[in-house]
């Protein structure tokens, strides 16, 4: 018996995105709530999404949101059945991160939806190369648990006379194709 599914490529893509959203091994044993993305509102400076899970599902302001690949953002507001999430590319976003052995901490800043992420100074004494992964540092009192992938180094350059690297970062999660995300049921200080 054949069942007509309407737009088969869209259904296949949706199933693929749902499967990817459920594959977030980097959260370890932390519980998550799978949530559909109901709207996106990227502008030059504001980058946010709305999701279809809220307070009645255990979602609270300040909880991290992840997708396949890594950190997506932070819950900023909740209703009983929905929530708003500030993406890591938002101009107000700041994420404490580390790379390599975890001995170097840095801050990753959003600059707007269509802009690359920026980072605080990385000293020339550190070994940093394209492909290096920055993950949340989980420092005491921080907004995120440790080990959530945030961004990959796209390029590293050195300006003559500079004491720090000029680094270009790419988010670890594909923020332009979010159909489902996972809210990590973790609060700062837990």
Contact indicator for 143, 130 with CB cutoff of 8 Å: no
How many whole angstroms separate alpha carbon 78 and alpha carbon 65? Answer: 13
- For residues 27-56, give the mean pLDDT: 88
Contact indicator for 69, 150 with CB cutoff of 8 Å: no
- For residues 108-112, give the mean pLDDT: 91
Least confident piece of the model among 122-126, 127-131, 175-179: 122-126
pLDDT in tens, 11-24: 445 545 554 455 67
% of the chain exceeding 90 in pLDDT:
53
pLDDT tops 60 at residue 41: yes
- For residues 110-123, give the mean pLDDT: 84
- For residues 130-151, give the mean pLDDT: 91
pLDDT tops 70 at residue 186: yes
Q: Which residues pair with 105 in a beta bridge?
A: 98
Give me the pLDDT at residue 16, please: 52
How many whole angstroms separate alpha carbon 131 and alpha carbon 126? Answer: 15
Q: Looking at per-residue confidence, does 145 or 20 come out higher?
A: 145
Least confident piece of the model among 7-21, 73-87, 91-105, 172-186: 7-21
Please name which of 61, 60, 116 lies closest in space to residue 88, comparing C-alpha atoms.
116
Where do the domains of the chain lie, and which CATH numbers do they carry? 8-21+28-90+175-184 (2.40.10.340), 94-171 (2.40.10.350)
Confidence of residue 161 (pLDDT cuts 50, 70, 90): confident
Average pLDDT over the chain, rounded to an integer: 85
- For residues 126-135, give the mean pLDDT: 90
pLDDT tops 50 at residue 1: no
Give me the pLDDT at residue 121, please: 80
- For residues 137-162, give the mean pLDDT: 88
Q: Looking at per-residue confidence, does 178 or 141 come out higher?
A: 178
- For residues 89-118, give the mean pLDDT: 88
How many whole angstroms separate alpha carbon 100 and alpha carbon 128? Answer: 8
Task: Determine whether 29 is exposed, middle or buried from the number of CB atoms within 10 Å of its CB (0-12, 13-18, 19+).
Answer: exposed
Contact indicator for 5, 164 with CB cutoff of 8 Å: no
- For residues 149-167, give the mean pLDDT: 87
């Amino acid at each position: 018996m054949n069942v007509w599914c309407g737009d088969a490529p869209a259904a296949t893509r949706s199933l693929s995105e749902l499967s990817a959203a459920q594959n977030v091994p980097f959260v370890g044993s932390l519980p998550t709530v799978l949530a559909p993305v109901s709207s996106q509102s990227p502008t030059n400076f504001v980058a946010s999404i709305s999701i279809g899970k809220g307070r009645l599902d255990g979602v609270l302001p300040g909880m991290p949101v992840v997708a396949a690949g890594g950190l997506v953002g932070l819950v900023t507001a909740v209703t009983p059945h929905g929530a708003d999430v500030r993406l890591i590319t938002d101009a107000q976003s700041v994420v404490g991160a580390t790379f390599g052995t975890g001995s170097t901490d840095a801050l990753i800043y959003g600059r707007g939806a269509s802009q690359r992420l920026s980072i605080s100074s990385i000293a020339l004494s550190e070994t940093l190369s394209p492909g290096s992964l920055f993950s949340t540092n989980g420092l005491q009192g921080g907004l995120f648990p440790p080990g959530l992938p945030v961004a990959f180094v796209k390029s590293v350059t050195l300006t003559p006379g500079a004491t720090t690297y000029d680094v270009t970062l790419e988010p670890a999660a594909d923020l332009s194709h979010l159909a489902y995300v996972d809210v990590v049921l973790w609060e700062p200080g837990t």
